[in-house]
């Protein structure tokens, strides 16, 4: 499944196609549960193998992780082809997720990136099924049993993720369809999230209907899945509420005023310029002091805390660039950038602010996190 997350906790497995692959510590929990659940089953089928059955069961956990990795790589590759900056892939207790940077999504790209993950697993399952149908019957054995488990798991992984509710991939497709019909991403997210909550409730009803409490491990796994879907859908509803509030905003309308200086301008001259700009009854925001480094392309906004540490006698010889917070050139946005895209831009890249530029690349203002937060809270 695609989406964002905090920094992964666990092992870095390497890179595939330039994308970092991480194994979260929580994956080992599902690996242990897999051995506990399937080890005894294999032991009953192949008692002569003894403890080797537990190794085969662990092999199933590893094979399942590989299947999830194929699923997420499909998301990452198609996302990259759609122009989405790919962050990393993380394998977790509930499967995995692919993180993306600041994304300019559309209904079509959202649906396509979401669908390819389940399709990749269905293709793997189809290949495995064809192999088993064509292979000689005498191949039955522990390796064959492991192959059957992996084929079945890929069918489940592919088809289950197509169910129409967030946070599953099928929920993203529902989101994209409603988004296309209504023109509102937040409405699409809301509908898909309520579908996800409904799916979680149906899973609990199915657990009761099937009497799964007779198998504690199976019950635990199914309840974990239901809880994962319900919590993911609830988080999506919160996100939809936020996006609905900030979507109508435009960067140019909420940006604070800014005064641009060369990085080598003395701090005393900056002080005098700001004082002159805010005198004679000025009642607006105090302008942010900004600068651009022509050599590196970096963008800067003056840090008031750093500026206060410079004593009066040194302000005439201290360049304003020395008391700036600097960020890459990507820490900028056009005046017509929507509020939801601004929010994603800030959060995905960890920028403290964005410089707002007009069509001629001139600085017209600065948007900070708190500026968007004020509108989210209705202030």
Give the tens place of pLDDT for each residue, 133-172.
887 766 667 788 888 889 999 999 999 999 999 999 999 9
1 in any annotated domain: no
On whether both 158 and 306 belong to a single domain, the answer is no
On whether both 20 and 102 belong to a single domain, the answer is yes
Model confidence at 4, pLDDT cuts 50, 70, 90, reads very low
On whether both 255 and 242 belong to a single domain, the answer is no
Q: Please give the Cα distance from 8 to 98 (Å, whole number).
A: 11
User: How many domains does the chain contain in total?
Assistant: 2
On whether both 188 and 210 belong to a single domain, the answer is yes
User: Of 142, 120, 132, nearest to 59 (Cα)?
Assistant: 142
pLDDT tens column, 336-374: 998 888 888 888 778 899 999 999 999 999 999 888 888
286 in any annotated domain: yes
300 in any annotated domain: yes
- Average pLDDT score over the chain: 89
On whether both 242 and 261 belong to a single domain, the answer is no
On whether both 193 and 145 belong to a single domain, the answer is yes
238 in any annotated domain: yes
On whether both 277 and 229 belong to a single domain, the answer is no
**Structural domain of 199:** 10-246
Domain boundary among 230, 246, 262: 246
Q: Please give the Cα distance from 33 to 291 (Å, whole number).
A: 55
Residue 187: what pLDDT?
92
On whether both 17 and 92 belong to a single domain, the answer is yes
357 in any annotated domain: yes
Domain boundary among 192, 223, 246: 246
On whether both 238 and 270 belong to a single domain, the answer is no
Domain boundary among 246, 265, 289: 246
pLDDT tens column, 181-209: 998 888 999 999 999 999 999 999 998 88
Measured in degrees and rounded to the nearest 5, phi and psi for residue 317 equal -115, 5
Count CA atoms within 13 Å of residue 365 on its CB side: 18
CATH code, domain carrying 366: 3.10.580.10
On whether both 348 and 271 belong to a single domain, the answer is yes
Residues 6+ apart with CB under 8 A from 220: 33
Model confidence at 108, pLDDT cuts 50, 70, 90, reads very high
2 in any annotated domain: no
Segments in the chain forming alpha helices (H): 27-45, 52-81, 107-134, 142-161, 169-182, 185-210, 216-246, 251-254, 267-277, 304-308, 339-349, 369-376
On whether both 316 and 340 belong to a single domain, the answer is yes
Q: Are 355 and 290 in contact (CB under 8 A)?
A: yes
pLDDT tens column, 212-232: 777 777 788 788 889 999 999
Q: Please give the Cα distance from 29 to 44 (Å, whole number).
A: 24
On whether both 214 and 91 belong to a single domain, the answer is yes
pTM of the model: 0.76
Q: Of the given ranges (97-101, 210-214, 262-266, 284-288), which has the lowest mean pLDDT?
A: 210-214
pLDDT tens column, 296-337: 999 999 999 999 999 999 999 999 999 999 999 999 999 999
Residue 151: what pLDDT?
95
């Amino acid at each position: 499944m695609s989406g964002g997350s905090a920094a992964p906790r666990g092992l870095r497995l390497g890179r595939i196609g330039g994308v970092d692959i991480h194994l979260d510590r929580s994956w080992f929990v599902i690996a242990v549960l897999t051995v506990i659940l399937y080890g005894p089953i294999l032991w009953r089928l192949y008692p002569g193998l003894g403890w080797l059955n537990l190794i085969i069961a662990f092999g199933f956990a590893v094979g399942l992780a590989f299947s999830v990795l194929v699923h997420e790589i499909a998301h990452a590759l198609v996302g990259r082809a759609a122009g989405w900056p790919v962050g990393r892939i993380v394998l977790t207790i509930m499967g995995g997720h692919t993180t993306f940077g600041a994304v300019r999504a559309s209904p079509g790209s959202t649906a396509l990136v979401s669908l390819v993950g389940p399709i990749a697993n269905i293709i793997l399952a189809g290949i495995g099924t064809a192999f088993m149908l064509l292979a000689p019957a005498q191949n039955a054995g522990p390796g064959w049993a492991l192959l059957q488990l992996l084929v079945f798991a890929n069918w489940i992984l592919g088809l289950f993720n197509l169910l129409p509710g967030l946070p599953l991939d099928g929920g993203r497709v529902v989101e994209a369809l409603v988004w296309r019909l209504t023109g509102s991403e937040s409405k699409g997210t809301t509908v898909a999230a309520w579908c996800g909550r409904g799916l979680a409730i149906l899973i609990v009803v199915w657990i009761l209907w099937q009497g799964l409490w007779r198998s504690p491990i199976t019950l635990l796994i199914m309840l974990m899945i239901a809880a994962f879907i319900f919590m993911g859908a609830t988080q999506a509803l919160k996100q939809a509420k936020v996006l609905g509030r900030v979507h109508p905003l435009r960067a140019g309308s909420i940006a604070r005023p800014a005064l641009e200086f060369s990085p080598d301008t003395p701090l005393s001259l900056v002080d005098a310029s700001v004082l002159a700009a805010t005198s004679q009854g000025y009642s607006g925001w105090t302008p942010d002091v900004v600068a651009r480094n022509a050599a590196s392309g970096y963008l800067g906004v003056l840090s008031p805390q750093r500026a206060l540490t410079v004593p009066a006698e040194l302000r005439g010889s201290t360049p304003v660039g020395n008391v700036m917070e600097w960020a890459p050139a990507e820490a900028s946005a056009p005046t017509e950038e929507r509020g939801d895209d601004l929010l994603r831009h800030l959060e995905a890249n960890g920028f403290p602010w964005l410089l707002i530029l007009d069509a001629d690349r001139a600085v017209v203002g600065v948007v900070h996190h708190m500026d968007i937060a004020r509108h989210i809270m209705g202030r």
